Amino acid sequence: MSEAFAIEREVCTCGALRRAARTVTSLYDQALKPTGLRVTQFAILKILDRCGALPVTRLAAEASLERTTMARNLDPLERRGLVRVGAGEADARSRLVELTDAGREVLFEAIPHWRSAQDRIARRVDPDSVRALASALSAE
């Protein structure tokens, strides 16, 4: 058997995880649709609710997003009045993001929809297995 044939039959971990991530993201986005949020935006609101106002760079790190991706996610949230982006207190060049009252309301409205997606996925994939995979892949 040739090496190319063996590779062709082998499951590519990266490809399988990317497909799974797209499927899971789609399930959450569909569940959150009544709130007008995507799952990444929901996660941003959750982080801001938990941590309070944060510089964009720190918020991006908390959400495991690139700074430019964070900026693209913040734009629609800011337009909807769910977050406020302004100059940082210590450094006017830095941008500070804070959750607004409207953002907090939408976040709490979204939680049951998020929970529904969580439960739906948990029926298909054991949450302990998800935690174990995430832990194994993030360990150095």
How do residues 30-70 score in pLDDT, each as one tens digit?
A: 999 999 999 999 999 999 999 999 999 999 999 999 999 99
Contact 35, 113 (CB under 8 A): yes
Q: Is 23 exposed, middle or buried (0-12, 13-18, 19+ CB in 10 A)?
A: exposed
Q: If we measure between CA atoms, which residue out of 37, 42, 46, 44 comes closest to residue 85?
A: 44
Token representation of residue 110: 């979204």
Token representation of residue 54: 């944060």
Residue that the structure tokens 């799952």 belong to: 39
Task: Give residue-wise pLDDT tens across range 102-134.
Answer: 999 999 999 999 999 999 999 999 989 989 988
